Structure 1
Amino acid sequence: MCFYHLIGPLNDEANHTLSRLIPHKVELRAYDTMVGIITKNASRMFGGTTISRNEEWLKSAADYSMDVVSVAVKLRPYPAFVRPLIYPFLEGSKILDRHLYVAKKTFSHIFAERLALKEGDDKPIDMLQWLADSARGSDRNPDVLAHNMLFMALASVHTSSATIIHVLFDLCANPEFMEELRQDVQQAVDESGWTLAAIAKMKKVDSFMKESQRMNQAVLMTFNRKVAKPLKFEDGTTLPVGTYITMPSHAVATDPDIYSNPETFDGFRFYDKRMSSKTEANRHQFATTGPESLAFGQGKTACPGRFFAASNIKVVLSNLLLNYDISFPPGQTERPKNLHKGGLVRPDPRQTLIFTPRK
């Protein structure tokens, strides 16, 4: 599922959205703004401008994540076999039904057309076609595939939106990095155009994103699992059935034995690591996972969409850097504190930013 040919369209979508959303100096809530932009860019990858300019779908794609989590939390206290009986009576169930209706209305007829294409036909390069080509058995039902698009939105919208919001907050709190990042983008685009090669050349931007992600983990603990059968380690330690295990992703990301001065934001921390060791350069990229970088998971359960997410975030961030000066409102210099709920961490949705078009 190569997205090599999607960088140009993603840039086109970001440019189209930003030029209309921010034609002049304006103060906007970062959260709402970035959710809207990321939703449109992700939808462009899903199925082109037909999807990315469909306002009904865009609203469902942006709202679905929060709505489905809200209902899931209400269902969690009940045994699994009871949940289907309780669901229709829960507040929020009608909203989810509406999202499913919109997904089917938007995608079912397109999937029916895509499933009818044969080998040798000129097939579009997008997520809809990839899903249609890989579907087997009962999954080759246009309504089932349309339902899957809500899961695509769940995976691609709010996680990427939160990441770029954190990046913007860190950029405004550390404005000394802005011009050098801007030059990093300009040089890459001048050399390679809006291509995957250019995205790969934006090493300083990649480093800034990874440092922001390091200090603003989406969750304090990750890889949450319940032991289903006795688990024995090499040293003889055995975990009994029912044991809960997890990995402290935030603690790892701020461990002084792994990162020097871990509480200090260093936007070029990972750029310097990449430049200092060619043999380990790939270890320090934004989308790379490892024991010291658990934001995307690790091993076979690592996020499969992280490479697209990295490219999409870079495209949007690059457009912002090239076309706007970005700052906190007058008088504010410090980054807003993140909000914590349970083990979840999110950027403050109330924070506004000032976007000023560059001449």
Structure 2
Amino acid sequence: MTLDRGQLENILERLPSLTVGLIGDLFLDRYFEIDPDRTEVSIETGLDAYQVVRVRNQPGALGTVMNNLAALGVGRLVPITVIGEDGLGDDLIRALRSMPVEKTGILRSDTRLTPTYLKPLVMESDQPPRELNRLDVRSREPLSPKWRRRVSEELSRRFAEGDGWIVLDQIDQRDEGVLHAEVREALGNEARRHPEIPVIIDSRKHLGAYAYGSLKGNEHEFRLASGCDDVEEAVRRLGKRTGRPAFATCGARGICVAESDERVAWVPARPVTGPIDIVGAGDSATAALLCAILSGVDARTAAAFANLVASITIRQLGTTGTATPAQIRREWESAAV
């Protein structure tokens, strides 16, 4: 499926007027850049003490989707989430300052940790950054009834404001993230009450828990949720269940799309040469899919736009990449020559 110039411009021109709602797990990505030439030996332990020469903070998980939407030029972002009343949460809020974000739905709890990925990166000359073992910070118990109620109330109050919604269910353990069963039920009620508002749902482990919206995940996630080894059949089954298009990202093969009439199509990925970093590629595809759908294109054309955006973001090493309209136009033009 090709994306013609008129479709591309129609998508990009609509972005500044859009309001996108988001609900899910908002993380802080904190990068520690290590200079290996400065490594010292700890007197206390005898172990290497890596020397951090730069610290970078950026929003992660739901924040990566938000970062992609902001880079694309979406005019207004309305996230709903719960983070901690802690220093990491303060840093996360600061990291959102450059985005068109309404922060009233970012709820802060003194009983929760701000979810954080701590990412040590070894920076070597003429080499891509080398990531060491990641350290994960987050609460390990379900949201309390108080916070489930507050999230559900905020969702009910704000849902109709969004031209479309993105749901990011990042936590593997059921009900330990923002998308607790009670919140999923409230979300389903709003989606059914407003069928004209597109909802894209991206869940690592729990796609099968959603019976509404357009499901989006990688091929492994679709197989897990459907119990079917064949990715085309898995996508078709889950798309049939919700009655909406479904999208399985399949790396270099592209995106497998089940349309509303249960037809399945493959939208090829764009060829990319040189080093790549796929961290965040799925989130950039999620953002691009919703933006394209809100322009009125069909599911296959939306997938072609998502592939175009992802081909840009995966070439940005050592960070979760984004794509601007100018970059997207240049990439489209280079392929059209």
TM-score normalised according to structure 1 size? 0.22
- Bigger Rg, structure 1 or 2: 1
TM-score normalised according to structure 2 size? 0.23
* Greater helix proportion: 1
* Greater length-normalized contact order (CA 8 Å, ≥ 6 residues apart): 1
* Greater strand proportion: 2
